[in-house]
Amino acid sequence: MRGRLATSSKARPDKSRTRALVVACILGVWMLAIGVRLIYLQTSQHEWLSSRARTQQQDAVETSLIRGLVLDRHNVELARSIDTESFWAVPREIKNVEEVSARLAPIVEMDARVLADRLKESQSANRKFAWIARKLDQERAGKIHALNLEGVYTLKEPKRHYPNGALAAHVLGFVGMDEVGLAGIERSYNERILGAAGKVTIDTDAHGRPYGSFEAQARPGETVVLTIDRLVQYKTEQALLSAVERSRAKSGTAIVLDPRTGEILALASAPTFDPNDPRATNEQARINQALQNIYEPGSTFKIVAYSAAIEQGLAKPTDRIDCQMGGITVAGRLIRDHHAFGSLTLTEALAKSSNVAAIKLGLRVGDDSMHDYMTRFGFGCKTGVELQGETDGILRKVKNWQPSSMGSLAIGQEIGVTPLQMAAAFGTLANDGVRIAPHLVREVRAADGTIVYSASPEERKVVSVATAQTLRGMLEEVTLNGTAKQAQLDGYTAAGKTGTAQKIDPKTRAYSKTKFIGSFVGFAPVENPAVVIIVVIDEPVGGYHGGEVAAPVFREIAEQILPALNITPDTKLKDSPQPGLLARFTLNPETLARLREVQERERTERDATLPKMAEEDGRAGMTRVVYTAATKRGALMPDLRGRSVRDAARVCEQLGLQLEARGEGRALRQSPAAGAEVEAGKTVRIDFGRSD
Please give the positions annotated as active site: 299
In 431-523, which residue ranges form alpha helices assigned H by DSSP? 465-481
- Edge-to-edge strands of the sheet including 683-689? 658-662, 683-689, 666-671
CA distance 520 to 497: 6
672 preceded by cis ω (within 30°)? yes
**DSSP secondary structure string, 321-339?**
EE-GGGEEEETTEEEE-SS
Determine contact, residues 184/173, Cβ cutoff 8 Å. yes
Nearest residue to 485 via CA among 606, 352, 372:
352
- Which letter, b or e, does each residue of 423-435 get, where b requires 16 or more Cβ atoms within 10 Å of its Cβ? bbbbbbbbbbbbb
Long-range pairs for 642-648 at CB < 8 Å and ≥24 separation?
642/616, 642/617, 642/666, 642/667, 643/667, 645/688, 648/686
DSSP 587: -
271 preceded by cis ω (within 30°)? yes
Determine contact, residues 630/636, Cβ cutoff 8 Å. yes
Residue 98, classified by CB atoms within 10 Å of its CB into exposed (0-12), middle (13-18) or buried (19+), is middle
CA distance 219 to 224: 16
Residues in contact with 373: Cβ distance below 8 Å, sequence separation at least 6, in sequence order: 304, 307, 308, 311, 365, 462
Helix H, strand E, coil C: the string for 370-412 is: HHHHHHHCCCCCCCCCCCCCCCCCECCCHHHCCCCCHHHHCCC
CA distance 497 to 661: 46
State which amino acid sits at residue 97. V
Q: Beta partners for 457?
A: none
CA distance 247 to 245: 6
